[in-house]
Amino acid sequence: MRSLEEFAAEKLRELEVRHLKRGLVETARVDGVWVERGGKRLLSFSCNDYLNLSQHPAQREAAIAAIKRYGTGAGASRLVTGNHPLYAELEARLARLKGTEAACVFGSGYLANIGVIPALAGAQDLVLVDELAHACIWAGARMSGGAVMSFRHNDTAHLAALLAKHCARHRRALIATERVFSMDGDRAPVEAMAALARDHDAWLLTDDAHGLGVLGESRGSRPPDGECGVPLQLGTLSKALGSYGGYLCASRAVVELIRNRARSLVYSTGLPPASVAAAIAALDIIAREPGLTALPLAKATRFTRLAGLAEAQSPIVPVIIGEARAALEASRRLEAEGFLVVAIRPPTVREGTARLRLSFCAGHPDAEIDRLARLVRDRFLQ
């Protein structure tokens, strides 16, 4: 036991010296955008509840009603006794939104990726991953046991070259990317990637964690991804939908296979009924309030315009600081002004690209966005 304690202490010292040690900070959400932290009331720009639906009265009522009827837990994995009746409605709604035949809900977006990718790719296969894709996509790719290669971020020419060079050596090829990148906020060239996948008989997988509900093609106001040739569409229920869980939207045969082979589904307890009911209620709100779903991107665009940054492509805006210590100091300075903007450091992002990651929500007051933009412009972008 002593060697274990010494190992942990040494690793923690190494992280501290590099300004990479993390800690949990008690933070109470007051409403959709305000929090209480360390005895202070702060306006949070570090939350992915883009539509603030986790606080919506209709969503709360749906969750409470589900608890009253079904209880607080699922009791077992979905394939044993944990597949309560609400799942069918949620999966049908997700499939319809994404333009696919079927859907499968997981315990989280992370569980979806580490379940789906190894269920479809194996030792004889090629998995090509955008270099900036989320850690769960990389984890799923490595768990597949296949040949895993990265392509330069959003570089379709590099992806095409890798496909041309390596596809013939492998049984199958799978391409994996985020639709909206969680740390940079930019979008993948999905249509171009889908065309490349068709040309090489590869399978394209997109993770829409940060687009669902807030971008036109991900909230039902444009043709769904299924019509653009994306056969494997993953995402989460925990961001714009304000609930918890993950999903895969795909063909009926693929979904049936995943229900039988995805270990993170087969061997995990199902979601609490309240989470499924809340996600259904969120989809109702998104369908009837297009004005609400447009707000996060509009507010992010307002910020980038005032701060003098490149126009936002999504509700996520990075302000690159550079070194981890400087990013922590920038976060502290903004907290002193009443803003919670958490510093993002390696290994989440590359060395030398530590940043302030701002996420914009429907409920952010415009006057406070303007004040934050001036502070960022004058203090960190000069």
Q: Which of 56, 84, 239, 299 is catalytic?
A: 239
C-alpha distances in Å from residue 366, one per residue of 83, 299, 302, 349? 43, 7, 8, 29
Pick the catalytic residue from 200, 210, 299, 364.
210
Catalytic residue among 125, 178, 217, 225: 178
Q: Quick check: is 40 catalytic?
A: no
CB 190 within 8 A of CB 227: no
Counting runs of H as helices and runs of E as strands, what totals does the chain give? 13, 14
Q: Does residue 299 have an active-site annotation? A: no
Q: Which of 207, 208, 217, 225 is catalytic?
A: 207
Cα–Cα distances in angstroms (integers) from residue 76 to residues 46, 243, 259, 271, in the given order:
33, 20, 15, 9
Q: Which of 182, 264, 275, 331 is catalytic?
A: 182
Task: Please indicate whether residue 5 is annotated as part of the active site.
Answer: no
**Is 200 part of the annotated catalytic residue set?**
no
- Is the previous residue joined to 347 through a cis bond, with omega within 30 degrees of 0? yes
Look at residues 313, 291, 288 and name the one whose alpha carbon lies nearest to residue 303. Answer: 313
Q: Is 178 annotated as catalytic?
A: yes
For residue 179, give the nearest of 120, 222, 115 by alpha carbon. 222
Element (DSSP H or E) covering residue 217: none
d(CA 224, CA 201): 21
In the DSSP assignment, the letter for residue 199 is H
Burial 164-197 (b: 16+ CB within 10 A, else e): eeebeebebbbbbbbbbbbbbbbbbebeebbbbb
239 is catalytic: yes
CA-to-CA distance for 179 and 210, rounded, in angstroms? 8
Ramachandran category for residue 154: left, alpha or beta (phi over 0 → left; psi -120 to 50 → alpha) = left
Q: Clarify whether 54 is annotated catalytic.
A: no
Question: 368: how many CB neighbours lie within 10 A of its CB?
Answer: 14
Buried-exposed string 238-254: b where 16+ CB fall within 10 A, e elsewhere: bbbbbbbbbbbbbeeeb
Q: Annotated catalytic residue: which of 134, 200, 299, 364? A: 134
**Scanning the structure block, which residue is given the tokens 């190894």?**
118
CA 296 to chain centre: 15
- Distance, in Å, from the CA atom of 183 to the CA atom of 320, rounded to the nearest integer, reads 10
Show which residues are catalytic.
Answer: 48, 134, 178, 182, 207, 210, 239
